[in-house]
Amino acid sequence: MRMIAISSETLNAIQELVRLCFESNAKVDTIVNRMDVVFNMPKSSEIVHKRIAHVYSTVFADFITDFLAKRCAKVNYGNIPLQNKEYTCVVECFSDLVQIQDDIENKIYEIIDIAEDNNDTIVKIFLENFLTDVVLVYSKQAVILYEKAKQYKDSDIIALLDNNIESLIIVPAL
């Protein structure tokens, strides 16, 4: 089998992105749990779980690892730290979702630069397309939910956010 080279520096950075995707899945699963159990938002927790949480592993990470397989590159999965954060309000949950997306975007920008420096042109093109076609939609979704949560931050009206959550979702169902 012909080996299709990706520089070790670029490959290591991509593998860190894959690890970050799985860690992000665990973080959003924790957010979903707190929304359901602590903030009594069953509708929101179900929608965020189905539309966002597992996207990190089943769309983001799988898409990246499928690309690596096409380039005959092995994937080494990193460790996922324990996720047990407690939240005092729903706004914090969605603020963390925005931060998760920012972290993924920043990692992709970093890898694009690394790929360019190492003449890994196909990786650079792949990540630029992945960023614009997929990742940025989820970043926008995170901001929408965060901004709406700030409007509904009082516990007296948080039920309205839960009731209206479907109207705020722009990402497709898996």
Average pLDDT over residues 8-26: 97
**CA 120 – CA 105 distance, rounded (Å):** 19
Average pLDDT over residues 147-165: 86
In the chain, helix, strand, coil percent, each to 5?
Answer: 75, 0, 25
Q: Give me the DSSP letters along 33-60.
A: HHHHHTS--HHHHHHHIIIIITHIIIII
Residue 155 pLDDT class (50, 70, 90 cuts): low
Q: What average pLDDT does the chain have? A: 94
Residue 26 pLDDT class (50, 70, 90 cuts): very high
* Residue 34 phi, psi dihedral angles, 5° rounding: -65, -35
> 59 is written with which tokens?
């769309």
Give the whole-number percent of the chain exceeding pLDDT 70.
96
Give the whole-number percent of the chain exceeding pLDDT 90.
86
pLDDT for 1: 43
Say which residue the tokens 């954060």 belong to.
85
For residue 2, pLDDT over 60 is answered with no
Residue 3 pLDDT class (50, 70, 90 cuts): low
CB 53 within 8 A of CB 28: yes
For residue 4, pLDDT over 80 is answered with no
Is 154 within a domain?
Answer: yes
Average pLDDT over residues 83-92: 96
Is 49 within a domain?
Answer: yes
Is 171 within a domain?
Answer: no
pLDDT for 43: 97
Q: At what angle do helices 62-70 and 121-130 cross, to 10 degrees?
A: 160
Is 130 within a domain?
Answer: yes
Q: What is the CATH number of the domain that holds 159?
A: 1.20.1260.10
The residue segments making up the domain with residue 92 are 8-164
pLDDT for 103: 98
Query: How many domains does one find in the chain?
Result: 1
Is 174 within a domain?
Answer: no
pLDDT for 153: 77
Is 173 within a domain?
Answer: no
Average pLDDT over residues 105-111: 98
Is 77 within a domain?
Answer: yes
Is 1 within a domain?
Answer: no
pLDDT for 134: 94
